[in-house]
Structure 1
Amino acid sequence: MSFSFPPALLLLALVPAAIWLGYPRQRFRRRRDTVSLILRTVIIVLLALALAGMQIVRDTDRLAVVFLVDASDSVDPVLRDAALGQVRETIGAMGDADLAGLVVFAQRPLVERPVSDSRSLGPVRSSPDSGNTDIAAAVRLALAMFPSDAARRIVILSDGQQTIGDAEAAAQLAAAAGVEITYLPLQTLDAPDVRVTRFDAPAAVPQGQQFDLSLTVQADQATRARVDIFASGELITSETTDLREGVNNRTLTLVAQDSGFRDFTVIVQPESIDGYYQNNQLATFSQVIGPARVLAVGDAEETQYIAAALQEAELTVDVIAPENLPITAAGLIPYESVILANVAADRLTDRQMQTILAYVRDLGGGLVSLGGPEAYGPGGYFQTPLETVLPVSMQLEDQQRQPQLTIAYVIDRSGSMATLGPSGQPLIELAKAAIDRSIDFLQPTDRAGVATFDSAAYWIAEIQDVANREELRRLVGTLRPSGGTDIRAGLELVARDIVNEPTQLKHIIVLSDGLSNRAGLIEMVGALYAEAGVTLTSVALGDDSELMRDMAEAGGGTYRMAADPSTIPTIFAQETVLATRSYIFESPFVPAVSGRSPILQGIAGLPELRGYVGTSLKDAAQAVLRGPEPYADPILASWQFGLGRAVAFTSDATARWGTAWVTWDDFTRFWNQAVRWTMTEGGSDTIETRVTMEETAARVIVDARDDAGGFVNGLALSVSVVDPGLTARLIPLRQTAPGQYEATFVPAQEGAYLLAVNGGGSDGTTVTQTSGWVMSYSREYAAGRSESILPRIAAITGGGRLTDGLGSAFARTLTARGGAAPVFPFLLIAALLLLPIDIAVRRVLINRSDLARLAAALRARSRPAAEAATGRMAALMDARERARQAIESEDVTRSAVSTASALRTRVRSDETRRAESITTGAPPQPKPAPDPDRRPAPQPAAPKPAPAPTADDSGENIGARLLKRRRPPPT
């Protein structure tokens, strides 16, 4: 017996209390109270055992085995296929009481076959990423697959070359769970190989100075190979050389030219032997110290004035279109700051925006955002990484300044909406996300509705107040793709309701691929706009749609083509903002200074601006400049975000709104100070960062020295590590030697890792440096092989190597494991059945006669034929009884008549004697008292007196005749 939740047994402490409270204290009902007390006690015990999860443990002879087969690149594919064949044969020959499962693993484990008693194993179709070996993850997955009522064993078929994970920790878990680990070693792939084992560059080098790139290539056999070296993606040298067997060292001397963060890559291409192509390249980074570099992102007309001003301030400026923004943090590291000049969010991918976020927050980069009609709220920044990183939010806090809006979403739900977009999500799911984001932007006083159409139209959510956002989201979640496409049906459904809405603004957003009949559609949209003021925005999926374009033009709205479906949520947010027409303010004003900032240092006065985009200041941000009253919206805002800084300027830097600014004498000074404020401060030349790979972990080593070359101790440093997937982790550095600080991290994927070291000393000095490290290939393809970890993890669990192949995989060498059968359902049922009995005992009075009748009724119910016979006999007995009673009634009547006659005779006799006594003068003699012993027995009450008997023709009455009849005849 066992319990799954033993603390519930504490409820048994209620038993003494129940006995004390329910002990019988009244003599006349002691028996019932005693029975009730016993029932209550039993119910409490049953409930306590049920809540404790009572189980009955029974020994079982079942054995469950999970096979873990290594599918990584380090295992010879021929041997792996042979091992899978052995597993198939072993499963086919297992016993009736045995169970088997199969997991195929490499970088992550996949369940090929769950644990079952089937003896068949089909073709193995699992194909995990083979670039790493994670034995620990495979063991943990196997532990989760085992049943609880069987002896358990894990059989690992691998070369034991763990590259990620902690297999020994997983083995400890297996041992604690009573699971044995055994193994069958597989041969590591052993083919002649050429691999790059080292490629180094100095962490920092001054611009214009020479530096060396050091390269080490290891070859298992002598061969010729071509060696190409790239700097920031450009080929700088290429040569064909002879590689001797063993270690080959090369050194390339270069001159540091462009300032910023530079990456270098070497690729070696052998002509003959090559066991793994993955280990033929390495990369490294170096920081070229020189003039600061800035990346300006935007169209030429948006960046021309600010780029010229920054170049005049001796900053190096690179200008690119938004579509060319790097998608990796390594692409932004060469720049101290990034400028977004009136860039709409739908011109950037989500990956590009995430890169900006990681660049500022985790790597200490700077960001300057310039306004315009395509920026901030109108640019679709709402609920994007751009809104996260900026010091302003896209919604206006003052709801009174925004006119009330009714918006209706008309969504195509035809079968084509089930198509997967580039992100792997169905288009209908992107449409749902777009509606959710748009609804989030609306004010509680706004109204919204969602209609959908295929071959017909339906309301998903009729037009209602936006205050209940959660209900709207729930209804939107019910959208499912099916059917054809009839845009007209959807618009007709919405038009009937939206024209009657009392709000000042009415807007429709239509999302479709535009493959619909256009008959009368354009005319209907035009009439809605002209007669009811309902504007319409059309969003076309995929290719350009003439129908969708004409609808938007007729409806006074905008036409948007979502070539990349992932931009649909951003487009919806953009159009929601534009529908309100309250976020762009175009009127001349002079910004008011609202806070002290280094950005305004040395600037006495500010020129006029002609417009800006309305935003709201975030709590932790500073408003340096504000707009005109009464709203006083932020015009220039700044804040510290993570390790970096960001500035938002809600007007623009062109002649559109800043005509007076671009000709202002301090225009260059203002933007130079604004951009430089976002650049990370600190002496990056005082520290040097390097990364070395040790077993499964990368070690970060930071050397700190002062200008004289002495060690700098006592610094509080940390390093922010950004992996290739833009996931950041902040790791503290600890001092391990004079001037040396270290930390470790486990690289989980190949690619470039960016490291930002940040901190300072007790004297107030700050230290920052950004560097990089590349894991070009995993240890799966590294030179040499480490000792197999399989013997160690098997020993932890009491297992070992299978010396006779898989023949002993199902050997009965494990202790039989008890199977726990839960009994709490039966305990609960028993308690529920006893409860009404307890109530009946206390509330219902039952005596012996009740029990006798109940027993008689039960006997009668059990003998239906006897019951029928008894019924007939009872009827006969009733008839007999009635006859007997009739006769007795007749006898009583006769007796009554005789008595009456005797009384009359006696009365006449008494009267005669009295008369005689009067005549003779003798006194009447008293009648002697009757003898008590001879007193007649009391008679039953006589029935209602019958009418006095009448005499018949003979002169005798009925009484006389009855007396004659009763006298015996004379003999």
Structure 2
Amino acid sequence: MSISFLHPAYLALLTLLPVIWYFRRGKDRVLPVLRCLLVLCITLALMEPVIQSHSNAIHHVVIVDRSPSVSETNAREAVEQANQFLSHVEADDADVIVLGNSDASEFNNVPTAVIPTTSLTQAVMTALASVPYGKSGVITLFSDGYATDDHWEPVLAALEARNVTLNWIETDSAPAQPTIQTTPYPAFYPGQSPTLTINVLAESRDASTLSLRLTSQTGETIEASLGEATEDNLYSPVFELPASEEVFSTWQADLIDNNQIVDIRTIVLAAQSPIPVLMGTSNESDGEHLQSLLGKAFNVSAAPFPWTEPMDFSQYEAVVLNDASESALPVQLQNALIDAINSGTGLLYTGSEQAFSTNGLARSPLADLLPVNIDNTETKREPGISLAIIIDSSGSMQGQPIELAKQVARLAVRKLKPQDQVGIVEFYGTRQWAVPMQPVQDTETLERAIGRLQAQGGSELFPAIEEAYFGLKSSHNKYRHILLITDAAVEEQNYQKLLQYIASDQINISTVLVGDNATGEERMADLANWGRGRFYAVYNEFSMVELNFRRADKIPASAYKEGDFTVRDAASAAPFPSPVRDYTTAPLKPTAITEWTIDNSQDPLLASWQAGVGKVTALMTEPFGKGTESWAGMPEYGQKLGGIIGSLAALANRATLTTQRSFGQINVQFSAQADNIQPELQWKRSDETSWHDAPIRLRAPGLFTGKINVARDATVEVKVSTTLRTYYSALSPLSDLRPEFQFETQYAQRLQQVVTGSGGTRSLAETRQDASITGNAFIKTFALMPFALAMALVLYLSEIIYRRWPSRRNSRFPGNVV
């Protein structure tokens, strides 16, 4: 038992007690005591104290699943297991609920309710209702987990609200009857061939004699065998349906076993409205040509160059620019297009030599969003370097100089890239390689080797420079460099001749003077001058220098090529049937992905990358013209081009329509990115010709919901219209309430989530433990506020009576006595 206060802040009112006591009158202490107690009771009432206590009484409800998915043998075993479980429980604290047909006498004089339905969710809710308030509740489910619906969300919410535990003792199910389960299909558009995957549940011994037959409304038939199982007892044959211009199409799926239909399912498909595409081009006929290539899945709007008026790119899911130039696209419109791309609009940039040259958009803001570099004047390339670091570790370097030398060496190593080479030579009377010449791959190992250097011995520099020279001589990198780090306290030698000889072999020598040795600056500067390098002075840790050992080369960035070039799909490695006649080479930017390549070369023909939320793709030739004239008669070309633009539009995701049956109604959810949108919801049965209006309400920014009341056995078509597009959805009959084997086995996982969420456990019938008898404690609460208020009222009346009592008044006014 514990006590808690809902509003403890009112405790501050107790500061009034000293004030009341201080201002009391005379020697009378009864009145101030009454007033202090009154304030105390009012404060206690305002704080709303609550006493909480835990009830140890547990009420058990056992659910036994005797539905058709459980064989008679398994059902009898479940009854025996349930009776064994109930033997540990008092009969007055237990109830039994049976799904399916059963005899109540099977259970040991425990109240038994038989539910003819096979809905597990309904059974759990019925069990929850039988748990009396004031007691802890434990529901124990003996079931194979097959459900006839997927309404688990309200079940879990109700269990959590009542703090009731659901335990699942899993029983074996009967052999799966050949059944059609679900028919998932991806989004498709009018004129496209939808791909339909049909999931079939069947025992492996039955699968060889089973086949699926699809029949359209027009009588067209497609039949196929089940093929190989994708999971245990689950088969997923794939059908390529013929293209249709209709938005809604209905098919009947028949599962056939030896010419006998064993299961039937009605499948309704909904095609989405065409994808809006904007094409910018100098040739007005290009828009019509693109529309004919893409088909009715796309709605192409052509906008001839130059663009001079403001444009609303948000109404398009993809934009195609063909042979664009800076004069055709003003900077303001480029920035507006960039904003749209960052928000999800896709861009396909195409063209011949002009589009990928300085005459196009090379120096415009839009060029930064392309996956290739379109500036053909020059680009920077950083060649590899080989660096030998000579560190003076003689005795004169003790203290600050050696620490500064280590810091400079670490900075030098961090400037290198994995393709570079590095080696470290130390000299202290002799010379040795602390780190032999090697590729820069593990900088941590190099830095640890630098950290182990210690100042000791003499300072003979000449042999160390020779050793570094011989180490670099065999390197094939374009830039070879020696970095000498010392305090200038080295022996006198004729370094000029040696360093000039090394420099003539294209190896530069730079020097770093560490520590406070002003007299050595001139000597170190001379060494760097003879070696054609740079001189740096590092007096302390605050005067560190920026080291740079490489120069960027200038190389051509793009070039126009003509001829017959074989194109290969990078994903499948399959060559195109026909070659491309011309294209422009352009270097790929980092993180960009090549989708089509020119065979026997590294040149990309089609490249893509992510730009903000949207996707940008570059085609290094014109989509229709000289370069692709051999593709004009290729049937796959329109499909490939449609696939490219479709992948660009997929990221736009302007709006999403989802529909779901829930008993006798359809829940509609429509989410949109656009602001100030006013969608309209309509629906009709498949056998009706006119649409019915339904209310749809704004629930959150960009989120609309609606409900449609319609019978379960009706095939329903739904559409949500906006000013930009119309979105469609279709629901087959009985989509949320089906025979057990028609629901996917994944719904057993949903049951597991409910069990876990309620704090229960899952076990097999033969391994059940009695620990499942325990459950969550039921918490009783008792509010003390009414008693505090009643006590305050009593004290208030007592204070009034005390003040007005006659004997007390006479004592205060003795002159009135006669």
Instruction: State the TM-score, normalizing by the size of structure 1.
Output: 0.32
TM-score in terms of structure 2 length: 0.37
Instruction: Give 1 or 2 for the bigger CA radius of gyration.
Output: 1
> Higher helix fraction: Structure 1 or Structure 2?
1
